[in-house]
Amino acid sequence: MDWTIWLEWFLKGLILCLILLTGFAYLTLYERRALARIQIRVGPNRAGPQGLLQPIADAVKLIFKEELTPGKVYRVVFLLAPVLTVVPSLILAAVIPLGTSFTLFGREITLYVADLNVGVLYLTSIASIAVYGIVLAGWSSNNKYAMLGGIRSSAQMISYELSLGLCFVIAIIMGNSMNLNEIVNAQKDVWFAVIQPAGALVFLIVTLAEVNRAPFDMPEAEQELTAGYHAEYSGMKFALFFMAEYQKMIVISMIAATLFFGGYREFWFMTDWFGGIFSVDRFWFLGPIYLMLKVVVLLFFMIWVRATWPRIRYDRLMAFGWKVLLPLSLILAFITAVGILLTDLLGNPLIIWGVPVLSIICALVAVAFIYRDLRRKSHGRV
């Protein structure tokens, strides 16, 4: 194999890691400023102009902070657990297309590290092993609160991974491929979130649980578990857990944008504007810009949910995953498959628009079920 191919892979992987690390640093600032805005506060504004150097100040603080290792921990696993948590958050992004391609020194450079025919399968497999670091951190800490956090994380992952997989199936059915590039190109005329809005919403909810974000942050519930699985970690080892969570937020937003919101492609209503001057097919550098804008909006959705919704009680969190999201995901996948099958058999493109109508009706039924269940519990009829 030509050595230039290896060099290209290495450089693209290095640049992607640098993008994610920089994104993690400034996502913390973005979240703190957004939460401050929602809560009518100022937020961090001391380190540098408008607080832009705050992430650097936090990094310096964590680097020089004393690291304490309890004497009764399982030391090897205790040290490896943060690494096992942060690595999947980096390699998940390898198959996500950031744009089309451009020519440099007579060579076509694609804006992704790897183009796999089974890219969706790669995402599900790597996302599934990300919980191992959290579970091992809880177990190796030899602490009951940390252990409970690890157990909660594994139970939560199992509960919501099924719904996440079915949301992937919905995108595969609509894109007729497991290749992420082909899924993105299939959304050139209309986003999958328009055809399957309930599926996109379920995907966003499930990903909140997958990355342990509020209101699904049960593995690290401070009021109950004193920070849970990372209670015994400090310094840079704690920073790796912190880094993994925020990098997974970015990567999950990139995946959501790719599967349901057109990925790096322009907004579908911009295709014919000004003769397609805003198309990524004409200007390759617009692809990463469009994807970044979508990721910023999806990240704000996660921050907004954290600022407004209280933490779900653990038993209700599990019931929500098994009794509501899993059946709803199954029904949405069935409706999508039947709608596309009938569209192909009858040759009438209008049939596909019955999918969002039926999907919204199913979502409303799920909401009514949740409301009825909460009313029964509030009146003691359980």
Longest dimension (CA), the chain: 72
Q: Find which of 32-36, 57-61, 116-120, 352-356 is predicted with most confidence, using mean pLDDT.
A: 32-36
pLDDT score of 228 more than 90: no
Helices and strands, counts by H and E, the chain: 15, 2
> How is residue 370 written in tokens?
């949740």
> Reduced to 3 DSSP states, what percent helix, strand and coil does the chain have, rounded to the nearest 5?
75, 0, 25
SS3 110: strand
pLDDT tens, position by position, 282-327: 788 888 899 999 999 999 999 999 888 888 877 888 888 888 888 8
Which pLDDT does position 222 carry in this prediction?
60
- Closest listed residue to residue 336, CA positions, set 318, 353, 314, 311: 353
Rounded to whole angstroms, the Cα distance separating 271 from 286 reads 13
| Cβ count near 94 (within 10 Å) | 20
Which pLDDT does position 257 carry in this prediction?
93
State the residue for tokens 């109508």.
Answer: 357
pLDDT score of 264 more than 70: yes
Which pLDDT does position 292 carry in this prediction?
92
pLDDT score of 214 more than 90: no
The model scores a pTM over 0.75: yes
Number of independent structural domains in the chain: 1
Rounded to whole angstroms, the Cα distance separating 314 from 51 reads 36
Determine if the peptide bond prior to 327 is cis (ω within 30°). no
Range of the domain at 286: 3-378
Position 382 confidence tier, pLDDT thresholds 50, 70, 90: very low
